[in-house]
Copies of this chain bind each other. A is one copy, B any other.
């Protein structure tokens, strides 16, 4: 019985534009990714071997491998030596990224809004100084914001930032997220150290978030670093557990 299993990439309109400044491997990986998203490459199907694929596209094998590897890193493909490359049966949504709550809510169609509660300079407490790597008592920015979705409070965000990093404009703080402002100021975010916990609301916290005293809160503390290793932000956030939870995908790094 002949196996009618053909390389599913042959029917795809794959092809690269060599006049484009976009790297070839990136063009290919994007085309493959959209094909997977659209279901044109069905989960579990083999991809056809690299050498043949390279020949058909007029690319070298290293270039094709680079494209495939980037999708393997994203968790969309799985390679097996001696077998081939398969599309993962994916419930894959998105790995946990370093995004701001604002972008998350906006992507979910939740119409985020921000109410700026405070934007001042304060002496750094011991905790803040340790996180930001500055001297205790030295001046740092302190921002407090209330984040709303559909007009309802979702989270209380308190952030401390070193001075002189970029312009903290009150208007812009209300119209977008902090991370977007930092990126726009030329800061390259690199990594963050996070701690997620829970506690019950005090009376004051309850007032702020429209919850009762004793209501469950999700807490997140985060120190963010840029690619030079500087701490650029320290955040201490509380979320209404009734309105928010962290959703994310984890990949096994092998």
Chain A residues close to B by CB (< 8 Å): 43-44, 73, 75, 78, 86, 88-93, 95-98, 189-200, 214-218, 223, 225, 227-231, 241, 244-253
Contact = CB atoms under 8 A, between A and B. Distances in A.
Contact of A199 (B89, B97, B197, B216): B216
A70 to B, nearest CB: 10
Which 6 A-B residue pairings sit nearest by Cβ, starting from the closest? A89-B229, A197-B245, A198-B198, A198-B241, A196-B246, A198-B218
Given A89-B228, A227-B78, A228-B44, A250 B191 contact: yes
Nearest to A196: B246
A254 B252 CA distance: 18
A248 B250 CA distance: 12
B193 A93 contact: yes
A36 to B, nearest CB: 12
Contacts of A189: 252
Contacts of A190: 75, 78, 88, 251-252
B200 A200 contact: yes
B75 A191 contact: yes
B214 A214 contact: yes
A82 to B, nearest CB: 15
Contacts of A43: 229
B217 A198 contact: yes
B250 A96 contact: yes
Contacts of A248: 193-194
Contacts of A88: 190-191, 227, 229
